[in-house]
Chain A
Amino acid sequence: MSQTITEKILAHVSNKKEVFPGDYVVSDIDWIMFHDSTGPLTIKGFEDIGKRICNKEKIVTFFDHFYPAPNIEAAKLHQISRRFIDLQGLNNHHTDGICHQILAEKYVKPGNVVVGADSHTCTLGALGSFATGLGSTDIAGVMATGKCWFKVPDNMKIHYTNKLKKGVYAKDVILKTAGLIGSEGADYFAIEFSGDYIKSSSISERLTMCNMAVELGAKNGIIEPDEKTLEFTGNQGLFFKSDYNASYEKEFSIDVSQFGPQIACPNSVDNVKPVEEVAGTPIDQAFIGTCTNGRLDDIEIVARILKSYKVKQSTRLIVIPASMNVYLRAFQKGYIQIISSAGGIISSPSCGPCIGRHNGVLADGEVCISTQNRNFNGRMGSPKSMIYLSSPASAAASAITGEITDPRDYL
């Protein structure tokens, strides 16, 4: 039988010749992740199981959701995780960026199976791996056994054809997709992103696309590995590809040359409108960063737009590189200097205000344009604040004018 890439990976890691949607498998896991927000519960679950850690080298831990600690409560949570990490001798511990970004930069290879106690673990599918977010109890179980059970998902394929127009980016493409298929449109599916736009896209753009697979309800998002993946991952891993005649429960085709910049309006990721329709909405804050859009190419666009402008006095612009590696390269290239001189605030690599814990929390009635992946009510602070999701270019242009702005006027 012909198989999709997701089926091939799951069959491979569960020692089967082939698997079908709806099958249950027990897989060996390559990378297991928890972070400061989900760590304490994972640790509790692990201690309740009462077994030893199965494979320390496979566990990667992060302090990124509220690091450095903004208050005593957060500091205590760090203490719980730090004690466990030290006691167990877990050596893959990071404080130098957002979990999904660092996993992409340093750990995950094509064909790997990655599970994390975080819903956006699906980001890593961009490297041709099977990656999915799980609950803390599940992660505790994987730490004790090195294995995890999965129900093989149904398959959806989205073909992206043609080239992007000026001022349109991967983020606009995935927002447009969310608008078209809805926030539950891919419930339980493995989404395979494909087509000539995907082939021509960079690894960073692919990470942005797969990052948001879960916002459509998917179990995982995945992109077939190619020469770019090979180069990015240092020639390692297993290269699975979908058979040409593999079957998909649902298929869509999206012509990426047919739309301009997109904005997801409050309070749901599928409430998507062309930027022209919301341009002029006053904002208090623009935030560029997160596991969705905190990479070097994202920061480069911001610097390019801000080069001959200043951030409007009444508006806060916050830029947070997704990792220390991104930060240093942005510094070397002069982007950090340009953004700071224009009045932007740069914070150390972390999730920042994405979940409303620190570094840019919103007050009642405040409006933020953000490059993150979720705009649920109250995510960035007050339940009476509002979040618009956009590309880094749209967010940067909006910081100049203090209102939602079409970035094409500034490119």
Chain B
Amino acid sequence: MKAWKFEDNINTDLITPGRYNMTTDETQLGKIAFIEYRPEFSKNVKKGDYIIAGKNFGCGSSREHAPVALKAAGVSAVIAKSFARIFFRNCINVGLPIFICNQTELIDDGDIIQTNINENIIVNETKKISIPILSPPEFIQKIMLSGGLIEFLRRDSYV
């Protein structure tokens, strides 16, 4: 699916501007992701698309609205060089898959990519290369894939 490329230090205000945070409705939040910073994203993002970013993605306030909005917009994973601490935790807990990749410069805006979690790689189909990712351990992936901490704990528990 398509890669949407972002730079370093994307903060939660750029993802979900403060004045749109009044709602907790997911569908509503899905429509406002990057609404001011990159309006074409909120209009054209397709289910399964990826966000590719530089360092410190998700810095700023600890609002859970930001990862919820990206997930609701259909983003299948955020892949960045590093994440802000609370955003990182929030992503896992709300079920938005995230991966750390030290070479996100090998992916350009609009490239078609796939993740292969079993082999810890991203395949950049446009550029015909595969790029390593650091994926979190199995139990963290289980939390992300079950849709978040609440869903995970409803059915499962930590070992």
Chain A residues near B (Cβ < 8 Å): 24, 26, 45, 48-51, 119, 134-135, 137-138, 140-141, 144-145, 147, 149, 151, 184, 187-188, 217, 219
Contact = CB atoms under 8 A, between A and B. Distances in A.
Interface stretch (B29-37, B71-79, B133-141): B133-141
A151 B64 CA distance: 19
Interface string B72-112: 00000000000011101110111000000000000000000
Nearest to A147: B158
Nearest to A50: B154
Q: In this complex, which of B93, B94, B136, B139 has the most chain A Cβ atoms within 10 angstroms of its Cβ?
A: B93
Contact of A149 (B62, B64, B90, B139): B139
Nearest to A134: B89
A51 B155 CA distance: 10
B23 interface: no
A239 B139 CA distance: 30
Interface string B124-159: 000000000000110110010000111001100111
Given A137-B93, A141-B149, 18 more contacts: A24-B140, A26-B158, A26-B159, A45-B150, A49-B153, A49-B154, A51-B153, A135-B86, A135-B93, A138-B89, A141-B150, A145-B153, A149-B139, A149-B158, A151-B89, A188-B85, A217-B85, A219-B85
Q: In this complex, which of A137, A145, A147, A184 has the most chain B Cβ atoms within 10 angstroms of its Cβ?
A: A137
Given A24-B137, A45-B150, A135 B90 contact: yes
A147 B88 CA distance: 19
A24 B136 contact: yes
A24 B153 CA distance: 18
Nearest to A187: B85
Nearest to A218: B85
17 contacts: A24-B136, A24-B140, A48-B154, A50-B154, A51-B154, A119-B62, A134-B89, A135-B64, A135-B93, A141-B149, A141-B153, A144-B153, A145-B153, A145-B157, A149-B158, A151-B89, A217-B85
Contacts of B93: 135, 137-138, 141
B67 to A, nearest CB: 11
Given A24-B137, A26-B139, A135 B158 contact: no
Contacts of A140: 150
A217 B85 CA distance: 9
A25 to B, nearest CB: 10
Given A45-B150, A187-B84, A135 B62 contact: yes
Contact of B149 (A50, A119, A138, A187): A138
A146 to B, nearest CB: 9
Nearest to B56: A187
A48 B153 CA distance: 10
Nearest to B140: A24
A384 B108 CA distance: 43
A45 B150 CA distance: 7
Contacts of B86: 135
Contact of B64 (A26, A49, A137, A188): A137
Nearest to B90: A135
Contacts of B143: 149
Q: In this complex, which of A51, A134, A135 has the most chain B Cβ atoms within 10 angstroms of its Cβ?
A: A135
A47 B16 CA distance: 27
B139 A24 contact: yes
A379 to B, nearest CB: 13
B44 to A, nearest CB: 30
